[in-house]
């Protein structure tokens, strides 16, 4: 079990995380939702060890983050950051193999190479294995980095907006695979998502953050209520349940942009 207790993080005068406490159980998928700039990515980076909290604790299986060497702590994680840009002159296969960097020797073992190719095949990129990573689209880079995370076989998987550049087919492929492997291998998976309907479909537990504070933590049915969604995003919504009891969210009315009623029609310059 991964635990965070009264986690507080500050950058200058700005409070990024304000007393966040919760527990993450193996075999479950957790989604963090909330408006932009509210601490979602900050929480993932803090769990991974990139950010240092000013107070509070992060603990996994009784092992405290601050009492553990950074390199040892990070071995627990497969972390896929929001930014998928890679400037290094590497092939897709080489990027995926970096998921086992700590185990790589002078020569890549046949078993490691086989596992990397299987990871690429699982995300539909085997045919691009020897393509330069910088020649791929943003969505293909996201899938490559997801394959790298899978190769690590982590205990905890952190995915920061993993489907932001993907089409619908590959969104469903990635999220379904993440959920399936989380169940089979008893991983803890924590991801940041903006699409509330995908969140409702694939998350076991949803954590709602706003201005660094946790407003709610529970099942999709408990968290994705019209009141809480409007509280988070300032948008009135309707929430319906499908035949499986999964919430489906849609705006209840079209939002009128501020000052739209004051806008004047554009006028074309008159010919001289």
Residue ranges per domain, the chain? 85-153
Q: Is 170 helix (H, G, I), strand (E, B) or coil?
A: helix
Residue 255, pLDDT score: 56
Whether the Cβ atoms of residue 232 and residue 35 lie closer than 8 Å to each other: yes
Share of the chain above pLDDT 70, in %: 89
Q: Is the pLDDT of residue 162 over 60?
A: yes
Q: Is the pLDDT of residue 192 over 60?
A: yes
Which residue, 147, 150, 141, 139, is CA-closest to 123? Answer: 147
80: phi then psi, degrees, rounded to nearest 5: -115, 105
Whether the Cβ atoms of residue 210 and residue 48 lie closer than 8 Å to each other: no
CA angle 216, 23, 67 (to 5 degrees): 130
State the Cα–Cα distance between residues 193 and 57, nearest whole angstrom: 24
Kindly write down the DSSP assignment for every residue of 50-118, as one continuous string.
SS--SEEEEEETTEEGGGS-HHHHHTTEEEE-S-----S--BHHHHHHGGGGGG--SS--HHHHHHHHH
Q: Is 123 helix (H, G, I), strand (E, B) or coil?
A: coil
Dig out the tokens for 101 from the structure.
């960097």
Q: 173 vs 48, 234, 260, CA distance in Å?
A: 25, 31, 39
Give the global pTM.
0.87
Q: Is the pLDDT of residue 84 over 80?
A: no
Residue 267, pLDDT score: 52
- Provide the CB-side half-sphere exposure for 122 (13 A, CA): 21
Whether the Cβ atoms of residue 150 and residue 122 lie closer than 8 Å to each other: yes
Q: Which residues, 6 or more positions from 162, have their beta carbon under 8 angstroms from its beta carbon?
A: 80, 142, 146, 174, 175, 178, 191
- pLDDT digit string (tens) for 213-266? 999 999 999 999 999 999 999 999 999 998 888 999 999 865 555 554 555 555
Question: Which has more confidence, 106 or 15?
Answer: 15
Q: Is 27 helix (H, G, I), strand (E, B) or coil?
A: coil
Q: How confident is the model at residue 100 (pLDDT cuts 50, 70, 90)?
A: confident
Q: Is the pLDDT of residue 180 over 80?
A: yes
Mean pLDDT computed over every residue of the chain = 88
Residue 272, pLDDT score: 44
- pLDDT digit string (tens) for 110-152? 888 999 999 999 999 999 999 999 888 989 999 999 999 999 8
Residue carrying the six token digits 């993450």 = 24
State the Cα–Cα distance between residues 249 and 213, nearest whole angstrom: 23
Region 68-97: mean pLDDT is 87
């Amino acid at each position: 079990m991964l635990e965070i207790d009264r986690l507080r993080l500050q950058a200058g005068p700005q409070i990024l995380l304000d007393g966040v406490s919760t527990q993450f159980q193996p075999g479950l998928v957790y989604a963090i939702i909330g408006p932009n700039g509210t601490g979602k990515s900050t929480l993932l980076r803090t769990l991974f060890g990139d950010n240092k909290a000013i107070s509070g604790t992060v603990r996994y299986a009784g092992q405290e983050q601050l009492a553990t060497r950074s390199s040892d702590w990070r071995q627990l994680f497969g972390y896929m950051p929001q930014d998928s840009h890679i400037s290094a002159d590497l092939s897709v296969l080489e990027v995926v193999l970096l998921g086992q960097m700590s185990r790589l020797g002078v020569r890549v073992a046949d078993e490691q190479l086989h596992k990397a190719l299987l990871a690429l095949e699982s995300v539909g990129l085997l045919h691009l294995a020897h393509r330069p990573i910088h020649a791929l689209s943003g969505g293909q880079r996201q899938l490559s980095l997801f394959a790298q995370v899978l190769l690590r076989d982590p205990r905890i998987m952190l995915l920061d907006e993993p489907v932001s550049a993907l089409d619908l087919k590959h969104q469903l492929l990635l999220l379904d695979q993440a959920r399936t492997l989380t169940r089979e291998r008893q991983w803890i998976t924590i991801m940041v998502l903006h699409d509330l309907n995908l969140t409702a479909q694939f998350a076991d537990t949803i954590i709602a953050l706003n201005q660094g504070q946790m407003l709610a933590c529970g099942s999709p049915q408990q968290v994705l209520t019209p009141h809480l969604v409007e509280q988070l995003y300032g948008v009135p919504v309707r929430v319906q349940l499908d035949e499986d009891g999964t919430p489906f969210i849609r705006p209840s009315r079209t939002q009128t942009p501020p000052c739209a009623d004051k806008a004047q029609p554009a006028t074309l310059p008159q010919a001289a």
